[in-house]
Amino acid sequence: MTRVVVLLVACVAVAAESGAQDPVLAGYQQLYAGDLEAAHEHFAGLVAARPGDLAARFGDLMVLEERSDIDAALQPQFERKIDAFISDAERRHSRSATDDEALFYLTGAYLLRAQYRVANDKGVFGAARDGARMKKYAEAYIKRRPEHGDAYLALGVYNYYVDLAPAFFRVIRTLLFLPGGNRAEGLEQIERAYRQGNYFSFLAGLALTEIYGTFESRPDEGLAIGERLAKQYPDNPTPQFVLAALYLSPAIEDYEAAARRYEAVIAREGRRTEARVSRYRARIGLAGARFQQWRLDDAIAALTQIIDAGPHTFRGTVPNALLRRGNYRALLDDPRAIDDARRVKANAAWKDFHKAADQQLAWIENRRRSGESALYAALVPANRLAVAGRWDEAAAIYERLRQQHPTDPQVPFRIGYLTFLRGDMERASTELTPLAEQKSSPSWLRAQALLHVARAHDVAGRRAEAKQLYNRIIDDYERETAAQAARVGLITPYQKRRKVRLNRPSS
């Protein structure tokens, strides 16, 4: 849910007006190439030489916002600068409604401030007001300058995601007074920015990579764009991260391909003398990909490398890794899971993570007390065989465990899911439906059972029945991971996963 809100307000506008702005273009190329420090120095120099220039100041703000995401101490500086920038641009626009530069950069500034507010919990209502102002200014600018390809990205992303918002946030548009969007028009605008944009083609391509794969059932096209960007900007890990997310998505579910993307980032970042946050983000991503393959020992090893390295300069990296490792250890019924959560609790500098640690400790205790933990761990080897396509071997283990635990719903759920993986959707629906209605089942199991019954309906072409179940998951199991998948299912029908071409990333 948060990811969609951030993406809704994440795109920012950069004018490409004339050769006189080539120094600004050079700064953005450094930013897109992944050299944040060089981009920072470049824009700082431009602002020093041209302190009143909106283009230079806005570029400086873009870089500062990204730096503040790594170093929270920079947030007050960003807040002061963005507020001053908006005030100056508003004054220029109030003096002349035909000041295209002021109009254009007001669009970008309101989007940038909205992104910052959402990402840092600075007020969703303020972010919504900024989004509405952005839309107004963007439409006014495009009316005056319809030939400017870059100008369509911010408006396109707004139109696309606001139209999808009810599936994710129910009454968000009414509560936040957001102007309506248009999904089809928004997609066309993003595509235009990708084809015709100068400064914005990179950002539009990132958006399309995700949109095509997640919402438009066009994963091959998304992969093609993402791979093109990764090749064009090999030192920027962002395209690799977006590609990995697409490989992990229900549209593809190629977990090994996702892992290779993360490994490529780790290998490239490992050649740097000074560690960047991307190295640790890639290791966390790799752990997630290995978890999807049920290779929990490998996932734990990836997180342990982060914890042992102790990158304390990057906000939240170590406590986040500890809590994830504790989660994976708990799934293996490893008593050391408690140690990880307690280690987070014991560090006063990690107070923002103390609540999550408390919740994890309670979760671990509840699973152990109920007996869920031990059986869940016993199922892991078979789960790994199932996702690897070794279905008969997995089935043999499941049947043995069912004889040992005839009343526990976890085993029939895994058998039903295995039937789903085999492609027998009608039988899978028959096996999973009773588990979804069994009140003694854990809530995560009921939600997952409903999700796969809904997907079986989608594959069979019963869209109305699928949407009914997706809505039920969202209403009844909001805190379960199945709820996010159900929201996506409301937007685009689930399709049985298929093989797509796999290019091994260069490192």
Round to whole Å and give the CA distance between 9 and 114: 6
Residue 270 sits in a domain whose CATH number is 1.25.40.10
Residues 300 and 212 in one domain: no
Query: Is 298 found in the same domain as 212?
Result: no
What is the Cα 507 distance to its own chain's centre?
A: 23
Give the three-state DSSP class for 502: coil
CA-wise closest residue to 275 among 243, 319, 305, 242 = 305
What is the pLDDT, as a whole number, of residue 16? 37
N-term to C-term CA, the chain = 32
- Give domain status of residue 224, yes or no: no
Residue 499 lies in a domain: no
Is 469 within a domain?
A: yes
Out of 199, 216, 233, a domain closes at: 216
My answer on whether 312 and 446 are in the same domain is: no
Question: Which tokens sit at 120?
Answer: 């840092």
The verdict on 259 and 340 lying in the same domain is: yes
Contact in structure between 494 and 455 (CB atoms under 8 Å): yes
DSSP category for residue 272: S
Helix ranges (DSSP H) in 120-250: 124-144, 152-169, 172-176, 183-196, 201-214, 219-232, 238-248
What's residue 315's pLDDT? 74
What b/e readout covers 269-298, taking b as 16+ CB neighbours within 10 angstroms? beeeeeebbbbbbbbbbbbbbbbbbbbbeb
Q: How many helices (H) and strands (E) does the chain have?
A: 26, 0
357 and 386 share one domain = no
Return d(Cα 306, Cα 351) in angstroms, integer. Answer: 19
Q: Is the pTM of this model over 0.85?
A: yes
Q: Are residues 438 and 329 in the same domain?
A: no
Give the separation between CA 260 and CA 290, rounded to whole angstroms: 11
Burial bucket for residue 160 (CB in 10 Å: 0-12, 13-18, 19+)? buried
Burial code (b: 16+ CB inside 10 Å, e: under 16) for 414-431 equals: bbbbbbbbeeebeebbeb
**Which residues, other chains included, contact 173 with Cβ-Cβ below 8 Å and sequence gap of 6+?**
162, 165, 166, 180
DSSP3 helix / strand / coil % (the chain, rounded to 5) = 75, 0, 25
How many angstroms separate the CA atoms of 240 and 505, rounded? 9
One domain for residues 199 and 259: no
Distance, CA of 445 to CA of 431 (rounded, Å): 13
- Asked whether residue 390 is domain-assigned, the answer is yes
Residue 111 included in any domain: yes
Domain containing 122 equals 2-216
Q: Give the other-Cβ count within 10 Å of 41's Cβ.
A: 14
Q: How far apart are CA 52 and CA 334, in angstroms?
A: 59
Q: What pLDDT score was predicted for residue 502?
A: 44
Do 280 and 307 belong together in one domain? yes
Amino acid (1-letter code) at residue 241: F
Domain assignment of residue 357, yes or no: yes
Q: Is residue 234 one of the residues assigned to a domain?
A: no
Q: What is the CATH number of the domain that holds 11?
A: 1.25.40
Indicate the SS3 state at residue 504. Answer: coil
At residue 51, the pLDDT reads: 92
Among 291, 352, 292, residue whose Cα is nearest residue 316: 352
**CA pair distance 117, 41, nearest whole angstrom:** 25
Q: What is the DSSP letter of 407?
A: T
R_g of the chain, CA atoms, integer Å: 24
The rounded average pLDDT for each run of 10 residues, N- to C-terminus, in the chain (507 residues) is 40 39 85 93 96 94 90 92 97 94 92 86 84 92 93 89 72 54 94 90 93 93 96 94 95 94 94 84 96 98 92 80 98 97 95 96 95 96 97 98 96 97 96 94 96 97 97 94 94 76 53
Instruction: Provide the pLDDT for residue 168.
Output: 66
391 and 465 fall within a common domain: yes
Indicate the residue among 216, 243, 273 that finishes a domain: 216
360, two tokens: 């994890």
Pair (91, 105) in one structural domain: yes
Instruction: Report the domain count for the chain.
Output: 3
Whether residues 330 and 397 fall in one domain: no
Write down the pLDDT at residue 118.
Answer: 82
* Residue 370 CB-density burial (10 A; 0-12 exposed, 13-18 middle, 19+ buried): exposed
For residue 179, what is the DSSP state? P
For residues 347 and 411, state if they share a domain: no
Q: Indicate whether 246 belongs to any domain.
A: no
Give residues with Cβ within 8 angstroms of 53, minimum separation 6. Answer: 46, 47
Which residue, 168, 188, 216, sits at the end of a domain?
Answer: 216
Whole-number Å distance between alpha carbons of 184 and 472: 27
